[in-house]
Amino acid sequence: MAAIKTSAWFVTTALACAVAACGVGAEDADAEATGASRGALTAIASFGTNPGNLKMHAYVPAGVGPNAPLVVALHGCTQSANDYTRAGWNDLAETWKFYVVYPEQQSANNQNRCFRWFEPQHTRRGSGEALSIKQMVDEMKRRHGIDASRVFVTGLSAGGAMTSVMLATYPDVFSAGAIMAGIPYRCASSMTEAFSCMSGASRTAEAWGDLVRGASSVGGPFPRVSIWQGTADYTVRPANATELVKQWTNVHGVDARADAEATVDGAAHAEYRDASGQTRVETYTIPNMGHGTAVDPGFAPAGGCGRAGAYILDTSICSTYRAGLFFRLADASPDDGTEPTPEVDAGAPDGAVIEEPPPSTGFSCVTHEGTVYGHVAAGRAVRCGAANAYACAVGSNQQLGLWNIMPKTLKETAAGYYEVGACP
């Protein structure tokens, strides 16, 4: 029993501080959401029977019209709903006018506030946390007249694994999902198994697909899926992205060989299409990125994209914007399964999609001398690791060592992005 308890603590802690901005803003106060208070969330106390004992928070942008889409955004361990607003969904909602719901785990359910994606009672249709999240969608429909054909779900790590749960158990509710450093549905049914899944448990495509098909009696159509993974993720290993592709291509009846590949904002993008040429599964693989959600605060087309923090990573690509495009949130029409036509350079090899180069920021590298404690106090690093005993650089997430007065030099290579070392 002692060995199992120790393993359980290690898994939840690893997921917790790898996913979350540990110790930062977990108790932020909730506020009434209005367009004039961008980023403020509304706490909704009552939304059905709530068998998973979760909290519900919503974001309502200014000027949102009737019959608008809804995105459900799931945080990682130790995070709050407010912490995960750093991913940038609220800002995108202001631009494209859709609603956002942030389910929030309580420490009474899990000491590290992880969604319980590995416990069977919370991963079945009509039960536990899965049902609580579905009831939040129902409440938003009741309050705001949500377009039922444009309801989407996304999440990071433990939240990404729970995204898999929602897509599998409620394919009649969600049209598409975006899984950030997540895990296939029903990979684990216990905490011990969860540890193995984080390293990447391999099954056949058919076995993975059967788990999804057995999750409900709906029988399809199944949601489209966008899968995101960093190649330097040592918490939820990149092998999980491969297994997710196997699971969801099998569910959609397509093979796991990419039908189109391109480089998008520095990330490798692959599409898996059905017989009619429609993309049912896509992947983004981000070179040298660790565990986290990819944001780009300077991303002009989205009016900015998130705010860098621990495991909210400042990269060359805005995952929120790209997932929003995959969800077709910018479209006025419902999600009818058709694909937008990309701009193609007829003279490029194989008709490659034109990629606009990222804008130059003109930022000059700045060296910051100080102690680990001082860097945290100045906002250049955040506490992380087991019991928040360590510090991680904001942006790069490089571990600086114990949160103490030992000296450490950081270089700011882009606004709000810090790495260990001095500028050239």
Peptide bond into 221 cis (omega under 30): yes
How far is Cα 142 from Cα 138, in angstroms, rounded to an integer? 6
Element counts in the chain: helices (H) and strands (E): 10, 18
Question: Quick one: CA torsion of 154, 155, 158, 160, rounded to 10 degrees?
Answer: 50
Q: How many CB atoms are closer than 10 A to CB 171?
A: 21
> Residue written as tokens 């959401």?
33
Q: Which residues are catalytic?
A: 157
Question: Quick one: CA torsion of 212, 176, 141, 63, rounded to 10 degrees?
Answer: 170
Contact 317, 286 (CB under 8 A): yes
> Residue written as tokens 């068998």?
51
Collapsing DSSP to helix, strand or coil, 421 comes out as coil
- What residues form DSSP beta bridges with 8? none
Contact 117, 165 (CB under 8 A): yes
